[in-house]
Structure 1
Amino acid sequence: MKSPGLLGHLATRLTSQSENLATEALCYVLQTSAAATAGFTAMLRKAADIPEELRFDTQASSDADAGIPDIVGYDAGGGTRVLLEAKFWAGLTKNQPVTYLERLPAVGDGVEGLLLVVTPSLRVDLVWAELHERCLAAGLQLGGASGFGEFRWIHVGGRVLGIISWRVMLEHLQDAATAGDDLVARANLGQIAGLCELMDAEAFIPLGPEELSGALPRRLVQYDGILSKVVDRLISDGTAKSKAANGTGLGRSAGTMWWGRSFAISGVTCLLSIDAQLWGYRRYTPFWLRIGYLQPSRTDRVLDRLNELQTDAERVVIVGKGDIFVAIDTPTGVEEATVVESMVAQIVRIKDLLKPLDASGGPVMGAV
């Protein structure tokens, strides 16, 4: 996983209010970069009839339900024309969106106002549906929806309600900053994007009915069966040994969000595991081979031997203080036997790369 940037790094360690941090950073860019602000208002003007020039400011509150929007856009006369509400994983408050919409001017007043909700990409559909439901429950009349994908808007009682993802919004602002040769703004927006990517990765994805059915646990049971068949096959054909170099028996192990079976290949103790963390965040496969399980490792030597695998993104991963994991990919759309054959072949190749002795005759890994 690439670095989330300085802002994302600090947010996870120094504050529990990531949404406020992102909001303040975004408003700072809009207050200091003419290019980014022009690009932002040009984007908003696709949805609502607002002025080309707006002044943006934040409205701080210690009460999450106080009904104070995150960012306000004012026209030249000081009138409120844009309200922006920034979300990561927090739900809508009781004031959103109805109370916020009521604070905006309506077309009948001779001007138009826009309420824009910013969310992670994964939440756009869910939050958009909830916004619609709340407007209907309040008796507000909905017009025709416009926009598509991760930037949409709809007229509600003479005002405009919109939603956009952090990703789309920040990409648009970065393009505007680049076009305006504002490299400082682009760098600042990149920091916000890094924080948003981190929040996207860690956000709770709402449960779907299919996830609570028996399909997911049955599939996990099948994964475990595949793992056992692969290890049994490696041992039966002599590729792997069921005991370490010192005669210690190897077998099943489990830890936080992983479980698997250990064995020895080329004098190195390895663990083939189903690892939820690596599967979810590093590469799309549940199966990972840990090199040097329960052994002191020489990370540099092992990585040197696995050099040809490192050209494939996130195939070889270093975790913690030097634990080395290799992703064991699985073919799709084939029978279980073909999956087992493919995984066995990959581990055999890794065995060939992990020769037991280095050029000087010393061991690559310490014995268990």
Structure 2
Amino acid sequence: MGDVLEHVVSGMRLSDEPFQTEVSFPDGARPDVLQKGVDGQGRLMVEAKFHASLTPNQPVPYLKWLPEDGVSVLAFLAPSGRVEALWPRLLHRLDKKGIPHSGAGPRCVAIDGTGKHLLITDWTTLLSGMESRLGDSEKGLADLRQLIGLARFAEANAPKSPHAGKALVEQVTTTGRNAGWINQDGVNAAPKPCGYGRYVWLGRRARLGVWVGFNTNLHEEFKATPLWVRVKRWKPPHDTGWTKRTIPALKEHMSHIKHVGSVLWVGVVPEEPADPDSYAEELEWIAEIVDEAAEPPLSPASVLAEVGRTYDQPVMNNIRRSEYVEALLALALEGSGWTRKEPWEAWHFENESGRRLKIKQSAATQSWGGDRDLGASPRFSIAPAKGYWDDKEGRWIPEAGRHANVYVFAWHGGTGTKADQRDPATWEFYVVAEGDLPEQKSIALSAIRAMTSACDVGRLPAVVAAVLGGAP
């Protein structure tokens, strides 16, 4: 590593201080490797990449933690096939933040007015240099050759950008085609530089021509999903599914959108877990919006009846079931001082004192025709978030943690032909204060049952009030 740095950055020398891994800084920056100089300040940060995307903290917040005086380096280490793609993105992020820099060597820039440097090199260069320096160290060479083999494997299997996401796109579009809300007649796969995708006709009745696929650029910007729908009016006679209501309807109902010229990108954001079925359910919801926009409205009552039809099923898909449970709680908590929040907000209800309530739901019977293995307890996500959107202030609040004071876990255990998720009486509700939840990303239903007892929907307001009364 010292040889690589000294070759590129004049005056850069490694110290004898130990190398530290995963060091966390107050603003969330967490480089893979950090070495301090003899003055106790971090002089070298290394961020090692294989296939992972850049995080929002890379590279600008990382550079902030390097000292202003003296020579220091933030080095990115990546497969050779990614170096050409990552280096321009790193420089673009410097330019976007107005950080002046000048060339200091091969794929290396100096931050003007400081001793800080940003560089990128590849695994092959580093590991080959290490091999020549190990000499007769049999153990060292054996370890290193395993690393070289790993790097070669990673490089050989690195996703090529135009084909990134091919398996997921094909699974999701095949699900839609089999269910009848996607048609692929006369249209083909069409990979783009941002990832793999294909043209399809979307909608059961509308037949709106769209491109469905991976967009690695928007994934980096929004984080919520790599799968996007590209909506743009096709030329006649291939625009039969297009109306003047298409774009407004998608903007009204979807939370992750980006308008670029005449193109609207719509994010396909899945429910948890983020598996092909969840992506397909979200894409089906987009297809239903397209169908609604394509058909002339007859009357408010007929439109509402058509919307309600999708919920009037004994077994609902994950999206419908989530919306159903939220509506059920809205009715149950009515008159108890709780206000329902907008769909994109980080919690579902807020009371008059500012307390927040979040819902998690699941069911034993799934819309795709399967029952969960009842011998294994289902799990609910309780992972902390990186922040939340404040609708009043109109900005993102980068406050990590769980942002609700109380969680309501809704479980429907019905299986077989008699399972009816529309019946409020067949649901179980478990109310837990946020402070009583363990520090982990998910929790099993069995663990929740060990913490509290189930209640029916009629008792829910009283139980929520009791739990909050005892919450810190």
TM-score bin, normalised by smaller chain = 0.3 to 0.5
Give 1 or 2: higher helix fraction.
Answer: 1
Instruction: Report the TM-score when normalising by structure 1.
Output: 0.41
**TM-score (norm: length of structure 2):** 0.32
Which protein, 1 or 2, shows the higher relative CO under an 8 Å CA cutoff with sep ≥ 6?
A: 1
